[in-house]
Amino acid sequence: MANMLEGGGRTPLLPPAELAEMGFSIVAYPLSLIGVAAAAMRRALLGLRDGNIPPPEDLPSFQVGLSGGLSRPECHPSSAVLVNVRLSRQT
């Protein structure tokens, strides 16, 4: 596993394809996810302040269940705390 700690880690930031060539099968970009989420929350809050409610396609679905094809809770994006990019296909 390669941990790409953006903005302060010792490991140089590399794209997933290059890490796969080096033999890594999983890579984490934890601060990228937090930064993107924070920016989206800021845009949403500014929009709400101005009276704009996000459209339904931008909101999470609360109809998550195992009958919908999910076999593990961590498969649903809204349940992820740390999202890993899998570099190799699992069969």
30-84 pLDDT, tens digit each: 888 888 899 999 999 999 999 999 888 888 776 655 555 545 544 444 444 444 4
Which pLDDT does position 67 carry in this prediction?
A: 52
Asked if residues 61 and 35 have their Cβ atoms less than 8 Å apart, the reply is no
SS3 18: helix
Separation of alpha carbons 54 and 47, rounded Å: 8
Query: 42-69 burial string, b = 16+ CB within 10 Å, else e?
Result: eeeeeeeeeeeeeeeeeeeeeeeeeeee
pTM for this one?
0.48
Asked if residues 64 and 70 have their Cβ atoms less than 8 Å apart, the reply is yes
